[in-house]
Structure 1
Amino acid sequence: MKLRISHETVYGYDHPIRNLVQSLRLTPSVFEGQKTHEWLIEVSGGIRGPGFRDGAGDWIEGWTVRGPTDEVSVRISGRIETRDTAGVLRGHREIIHPTTYLRDTKATRADKGLEALAAGVSEAADTLDLAHRLSAAVGEAIAYRPGVTEMHTTAAEALALGEGVCQDHAHALVAVARLRELPARYVSGYLHSTIDGESHDAAHAWAEIHVEGLGWVGFDAANRCCPDERYVRLGSGLDAVDAAPIRGVAMGNGAERLDVAVQVEEIAQ
């Protein structure tokens, strides 16, 4: 599938900031399931700093914006070609050992509810089967409903509520997988899901679970499937904060507001 992606994030400030430093994880991953043909990152008034590939295989680059300014925009545009690898992250280079992803964070820390959900999944024929069953259990336990949770909602809180968005499904799946001794991590990216090809808001998140013999395999509990050619992978981390496409620090006293617009559309063959 050939996709065109447009992603704009605009930061506004009540009072002009003096300086802004950002770390961007906004470049598509390099693996067999996707090939980038064009990719442009623009930061208004920004100075591009050094970039590097981290131990998880994600490309990260730094940007600095010198003020005073009361608005900063980060724009991404590009074309990418994807193919279905049945969720398996083939050909992705990284050096971090999978067991690193057994470590909990505040967002994925288990409580009694998550422990019960993990324990309630019956024994499976193999690790891959168990991962599928855990993903299905999370999809059943948390209904997809936008607007009921927020950025800092934890997996435990979303499960107790029984509703949430893709971030909550990913956090919960990461949590229960780790409880069953399976390394798991949070993945950020994009999703093209409109059958008629119309562009739409499509920032997305899912989880990856490490399966012996296969490596990392993606599971989207929110949509009850494994990532296919509709998905574009950007990067991963222990949780949403760790895998955030944009992280930064602004120097100033003004309150910050944020507007995000993402479009993913299929390009005619």
Structure 2
Amino acid sequence: MRLFIDHRTDYRFSEPQARIVQLLRLTPTSNEGQNIIDWRIDVDCNARLRRARDGFGNETHMLYIDGPIDRVTLSVTGEVLTDDRAGMLSGAVEPLPPMLYLQTTPATRPGAALDDFAEQVKAAGGSALSRAHRLNEALADRMTFDPGRHAGARDAASTFAEGHGACQDLAQVLVAAARAMGLPARYISGHRFSDVEGSKVQEATHAWAEVHVEDYGWIGFDPSTGRCPDDRYVRVAAALDFRGAAPLSGTRTGGGFEELEVGVRVGTSQAVVQ
């Protein structure tokens, strides 16, 4: 599938800022399931971008802006060719061993209830692959996906207790549960095209999880749909949890408060997303 992405972020500040520093995880890399045809980041002011790669293998950019400045707009546009590989990942940059992804973070602590849930899924038996699929399907049945909800700072245990959340919240729940079952798992941020009721645009970022299964490698699972990612997905960044794969994070020097507005459009035609 040929997908076009338009990701815009607007910062507005109540007082001029002296300096802004942001870490951007907005750029996908090619693998055997996706080929990046074109990708660019534009800033509507005098800024410096320094390209790098983080410890998880994600392509990053450090953004530096010297003030005074009271508003900034980041525009990310790209074209990606994708294949349906039934969630199986290969050809990606992998600087870390899978076993590292068994470690728990504050955001992915499962808590007693999610631990019990994971144990019930595991106790049903079967291969590691079948257990991973069963976990994804069970969470999709158990949890309610709130597509209009913004991801907050909730940990996996809190989301599981509430029974609903944004795709980012549900991805963290699956990561926590898989690790509780002894399966390495990581959080994935990216984009998903959804042709709902004839719509050609998906106005949201997306998130899912990847589980490492022996003899198969990394496989994607999306608990918001109960399925594996297909050619409608564009994989951008991987990490232990939401914080490590957040599209934007950073600091500013200056007083007052900030307003942040993010708009993401994913479509099958460049004309549609613009």
- Is the pair's TM-score, using the shorter chain for normalization, greater than 0.5? yes
Aligned residues of 2:140 and 2:226 also touching (Cα < 8 A): yes
Give distance in 2, aligned partners of 1:55 and 1:213.
24
Give distance in 2, aligned partners of 1:203 and 1:147.
11
TM-score by length of 2: 0.93
Structure 1 residues 37 and 152, CA gap change in structure 2 (3 angstroms): same
**Structure 1 residue 202: Cα displacement:** 2.8
Q: Deviations over 1:83-118 (max 9, x none)?
A: 111101111121211111111111111211111111
SS at match of 1:6: strand
Structure 1 residues 169 and 230, CA gap change in structure 2 (3 angstroms): same
Extract structure 1 runs of 4+ deviating beyond 3 A: 146-150
1:234 lines up with 2:236 in the alignment: yes
Partner of 1:14: 14
1:261 lines up with 2:263 in the alignment: yes
Give the partner amino acid of 2:119: A
Q: Deviations over 1:22-61 (max 9, x none)?
A: 1111111221111111111012325334322234221111
Structure 1 residues 33 and 146, CA gap change in structure 2 (3 angstroms): closer
Give the partner amino acid of 1:18: A
**Structure 1 residue 197: Cα displacement:** 5.2
SS at match of 1:25: strand
More helix by share: 2
SS at match of 1:26: strand
SS at match of 2:137: helix
Give distance in 1, aligned partners of 2:60 and 2:132.
29
Give distance in 2, aligned partners of 1:164 and 1:23.
25
2:213 counterpart (211, 214, 232): 211
Partner of 2:178: 177
Give the partner amino acid of 2:29: S
Q: Deviations over 1:166-203 (max 9, x none)?
A: 11110100000000111111100000011535123031
TM-score by length of 1: 0.95
Give distance in 2, aligned partners of 1:55 and 1:161.
33
Superposed CA RMSD: 1.6
Give distance in 2, aligned partners of 1:14 and 1:84.
45
**Percentage of pairs with the same residue:** 41
Partner of 2:66: 66
Residue pairs, 1:145-224, within 5 angstroms: 145-146=146-147, 150-195=151-196, 196=198, 198-224=200-226
Aligned residues of 2:146 and 2:167 also touching (Cα < 8 A): no
SS at match of 2:242: coil
Give distance in 1, aligned partners of 2:151 and 2:46.
29
